[in-house]
Amino acid sequence: METFIGFTNQSQGRDRIFRATQYACALAKYLLRNEAKRKKMVKKLQLLESNMSSGRKLFRLGNTVNSIHAARSTLHISDPVLRFCLTVANLNRALYFICDNTLWARNIGLIRGIDKDRWSLNSTRFYFFSLIMHLTRDLYVIVQLMAQKSRDRHYQQKAQEHLNESPDVACVIVPQLDTFLFLVFESLRSQPSVALDTLKNVCDLFIPLDKLGLYHTNAGVVGACGLLSSLLGILTVLRPSLKIKP
């Protein structure tokens, strides 16, 4: 099992590269959509985007096992909020990969007689719920960091100096709000892994929101958000210290 998980983890690194390429093509295709001279380029970008999407589905074949194994691991987390959020997120992610793998099998002709639209919709829903749980975890961790930081004497002194250095801002903006924003900034700066994970999940959230019709954007926004979240994912692979734990 450990060997299999280690192998699929390596595939996930390649998946992030493919994902970044896929959304970069989507963004470029959107930006060039109105240029008549770029029609051939747009077609090539569309083909490359499709190939990257197909390649990613192949890399994700073993991710269901990874997600179930991760859900079993998070059951042992002592913090009840983190345990609930991460376990539910991993279970939804496992269901998402099951739907994704089923759609892949249908596309290559291994499975017939399934409703592609319904499976695609369920896949997006599970992905959406997984992101919501991850964002809930991020917010919970941020609140904990803020509570810890607010009790720190060094921070209290630094916050007072911040207000004294910007009296004009403090007069225009409610002082409590200014202090709150400064506390959020200092908390995230002290834990860049939390800041990166939150930004990544917020960017990813636009993708299922658009597909589910909950918040309509356009292909350019989806492409830009997908590209940014993919680059952040690659960064956490290159710098494991920037990956949030647990």
The answer to whether position 213 is within a domain reads yes
Q: CA-to-CA distance for 2 and 89, rounded, in angstroms?
A: 21
Per-residue pLDDT tens over the stretch 167-176? 555 444 556 7
The answer to whether position 67 is within a domain reads yes
User: How many domains are contained in the chain?
Assistant: 1
Q: pLDDT band for 65, please (50, 70, 90 cuts).
A: confident
The answer to whether position 223 is within a domain reads yes
What is the reported pLDDT for 214? 94
The answer to whether position 182 is within a domain reads no
The answer to whether position 79 is within a domain reads yes
The answer to whether position 21 is within a domain reads yes
The answer to whether position 157 is within a domain reads no
Length of the chain: 246
Q: What is the average per-residue pLDDT within 189-217?
A: 95
The answer, yes or no, to whether residue 58 has pLDDT greater than 90, is: no
The answer to whether position 178 is within a domain reads no
Alpha helices in the chain (DSSP H): 2-31, 39-59, 63-74, 80-107, 116-150, 153-165, 167-172, 175-190, 192-211, 219-238
The answer, yes or no, to whether residue 101 has pLDDT greater than 80, is: yes
**pTM of structure:** 0.88
Per the structure, the complete domain to which residue 19 belongs is given by 2-151+191-242
Provide the angle, in degrees to the nearest 10, between the axes of the packed helices 116-150 and 192-211. 150
Coil, strand or helix at 153: helix
